[in-house]
A and B are shown apart, each in its own frame.
Chain A
């Protein structure tokens, strides 16, 4: 039982570390890394642009979603 608890805690730790509050950010980073790898393999020297652009974009979209969710769940004053 102790081992099962440790494994659960270990898996839970990494899920929280990687995914956190918004899984779409981790998913976007994964897709952007694959695309950067593909573009680099194709010989495109400016492939480095993709990763920061995707990171900034997904953070902006996630924050917008979080702000709207918080606004909707707040009762009108």
Chain B
């Protein structure tokens, strides 16, 4: 076994796995764990089929258009959640929704499968999984040690997924409103990062720019929250709609 190749693949794939797990945990905690896990499973199945069908030809898969489509969709959806989070916290406060098992009926239908949560988790897992597969093929293929690269990537997936599974209880303790705002910031950040890459733009600092984007969108949410309160949004009772229909 080539330890250098395994270590390099572990670190490179680890960054992608962190992004994948963050999206699944965020969707599960704010929408539906069932939809998030089924979406993640669906993404993994598509990935396995692609890897089996393409093998080392994965290196030639054009990631740029996939990043553009997935990124643009995540960005517009993330901004919707950021907006809803700000409006709801402005009307009801930060603490509402702490320890709730279910999210608002306006977001996730109680009697139906949450397809939106499914799509979000599916896209996150399939895109990140594809990037991991490309890393494995590129690093392992270049060094002539594909087996070592697979072991490194598999270790990253197992270790970081276990960490994600261990942290979900902590995430569940965050009040639902605050979580919605933060998840909106998180999805917007991934969306911005991938969509800009999809149109050929490069981020300064590479993947580290993601942390800057999360900070930017979270700060934007907090600043806009004060702005909305200043614009005298009327207070609506918890769980009810405002007359504009937006505080569902």
Interface residues of A (CB under 8 A from B): 13, 16-22, 25-26, 29-30, 33, 36-37, 39-41, 45, 47-48, 51-52, 55-56, 58-60, 62-64, 66-71, 73-74
Most buried by A among B204, B231, B232, B242: B231
CB neighbours of B231 from chain A (8 A): 64, 67-68, 71
The 7 tightest CB contacts between A and B, nearest first, are A37-B199, A20-B80, A67-B231, A74-B234, A73-B243, A40-B200, A48-B201
The secondary-structure label for the interface of chain B is helix
Complex formed: what's the CA distance from A63 to B76 in Å? 15
Assess the B76–A70 pair: CB atoms within 8 A: no
Interface residues of B (CB under 8 A from A): 68, 72-73, 75-77, 79-80, 82-84, 86-87, 90, 115-116, 119, 188, 192, 195-196, 199-204, 209, 213, 216-217, 220, 224, 227-228, 231-234, 242-244, 246-247
With A25-B79, A71-B232 in contact, do A33 and B86 touch (Cβ < 8 Å)? no
CB neighbours of A37 from chain B (8 A): 199-200
CB neighbours of A26 from chain B (8 A): 76
Complex formed: what's the CA distance from A74 to B77 in Å? 28
Assess the B82–A59 pair: CB atoms within 8 A: yes
List 17 A-B pairs, Cβ < 8 Å. Answer: A17-B76, A17-B116, A18-B77, A22-B83, A25-B80, A25-B83, A37-B199, A45-B202, A48-B204, A51-B75, A56-B217, A63-B86, A67-B228, A67-B233, A70-B242, A70-B246, A73-B244
Complex formed: what's the CA distance from A39 to B199 in Å? 10
With A29-B76, A63-B227, A66-B87 in contact, do A51 and B234 touch (Cβ < 8 Å)? no
B141 shortest CB reach to chain A, Å: 29
CB neighbours of B80 from chain A (8 A): 20-22, 25
Given contacts A21-B83, A37-B200, 9 further A-B contacts (CB under 8 A): A13-B116, A18-B76, A20-B80, A29-B76, A33-B72, A37-B199, A48-B196, A69-B244, A70-B247
Which one of B68, B83, B90, B233 contacts A59 once the chains associate, using CB atoms below 8 Å? Answer: B83
A47, closest chain B residue (CB) = B201
A38 shortest CB reach to chain B, Å: 9
CB neighbours of A55 from chain B (8 A): 75, 79, 188, 192, 217
Assess the A58–B79 pair: CB atoms within 8 A: yes
Which one of A56, A59, A70 contacts B243 once the chains associate, using CB atoms below 8 Å? Answer: A70
Most buried by A among B76, B90, B188, B246: B76
